């Protein structure tokens, strides 16, 4: 199976939950973990990964480049750049392109009267793979600063995960927050979505948004309420799950030991197995174990 763990809102504890779930399942099933947040990957930090066995660069999008020898300093490229990526460093110098801002739209190339502008392929980011000390492969990605195609990076990550896996291997995908292209790429092709939310109105609002994405792909979903005891009177997530005829896998309490586990770079249930949060996540893990065995 391919299971995606997602949340409409950032900061709800999705990656902590994902790493804990992987920790509980790793000895029972063959797994491949995918960190599908290419803009801010963090799963490798929790599993204490510093070195990668394999790395691949992904090229996507284009960046304008101005040939200063051909340039006649007419400044048409500056006037026609919507993104203000073309500027002069001084009045005497010729225009240059800020590669962090340039979107590769080609407007500067079209208006240049002497064809001094070319569009060149640019590196979008890096996909990397390793085998963790826990025995399972981890695939992650890092989007380069200012570059597009985070969704394509995630797609390539998942493709690599499928190539790494065999028929008995389950793939667990830790999605980015929100409903952007990274999330769409994460959700696409999944067999089950686990949606994590906090007991707040803002988290519920964003949960509904990402659930619409999951529904669009006709993927069954289950819900997890994290840090539920910070606002125990809020029952919005439970009501929404009931409305959608879905199930709440579990309600995890706030755990002050989480920051310490992050500092130690190890999953919460490994270093603090006796906390209430670890115990609840273990119960959730047992439910997922049953689902995987049934499938």
Token digits of residue 124? 């979008």
For 190: left if phi > 0, alpha if psi spans -120 to 50, otherwise beta; the answer is beta
- Helix-helix angle 14-25:276-294, to 10 degrees: 60
Spatial distance between the Cα atoms of 267 and 261, rounded to a whole number of angstroms: 6
Per-residue model confidence as pLDDT tens digits over 213-247: 999 999 999 999 999 999 999 999 999 999 999 99
Token digits of residue 76? 């048409």
* Residue 150 pLDDT level (bands cut at 50, 70, 90): confident
The values of phi and psi at residue 128, to 5°, are -135, 155
What is the dihedral sign for C-alpha 266, 125, 128, 14? positive
Per-residue model confidence as pLDDT tens digits over 248-264: 999 999 999 999 999 99
Residue 30, CA distances (Å) to 164, 165, 267 in order: 11, 8, 18
Domains and CATH numbers, the chain: 2-49+132-294 (3.40.50.300), 59-123 (3.30.70.20)
Percent of the chain clearing pLDDT 90 (strictly above): 88
């Amino acid at each position: 199976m391919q299971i995606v763990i997602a949340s409409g809102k950032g900061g709800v504890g999705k990656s902590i939950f994902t790493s804990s779930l992987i920790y509980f399942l790793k000895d029972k099933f063959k797994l491949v973990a995918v960190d599908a947040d290419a803009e801010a990957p963090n799963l490798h930090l929790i599993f204490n990964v510093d070195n990668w066995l394999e790395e691949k660069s992904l090229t996507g999008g284009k960046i304008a480049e101005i040939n200063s020898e051909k340039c006649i300093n007419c400044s048409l490229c500056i006037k026609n750049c919507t993104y203000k990526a073309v500027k002069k460093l001084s009045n005497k110098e010729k225009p240059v392109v800020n590669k962090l801002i340039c979107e590769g739209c080609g407007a500067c190339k079209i208006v240049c009267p002497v064809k001094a502008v070319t569009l060149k392929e640019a590196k979008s980011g890096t996909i990397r793979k390793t085998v963790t000390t826990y025995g399972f492969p981890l695939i992650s990605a890092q989007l380069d600063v200012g570059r597009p195609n985070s969704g394509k990076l995630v797609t390539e990550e998942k493709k690599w995960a499928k190539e790494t896996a065999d028929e008995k291997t389950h793939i667990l995908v830790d999605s980015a927050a929100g409903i952007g292209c990274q999330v769409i790429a994460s959700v696409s092709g999944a067999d089950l979505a686990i949606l994590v939310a906090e007991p707040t109105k803002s988290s519920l609002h964003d949960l509904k948004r990402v659930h619409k994405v999951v529904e669009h792909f006709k993927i069954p979903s289950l819900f997890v309420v994290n840090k539920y005891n910070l606002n125990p009177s809020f029952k919005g997530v439970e009501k929404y799950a009931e409305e959608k005829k879905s199930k709440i896998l579990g309600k995890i309490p706030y755990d002050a030991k989480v920051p310490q586990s992050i500092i130690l770079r190890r999953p919460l249930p490994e270093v603090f197995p006796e906390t209430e949060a670890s115990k609840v996540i273990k119960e959730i893990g047992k439910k997922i174990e049953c689902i995987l065995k049934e499938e």
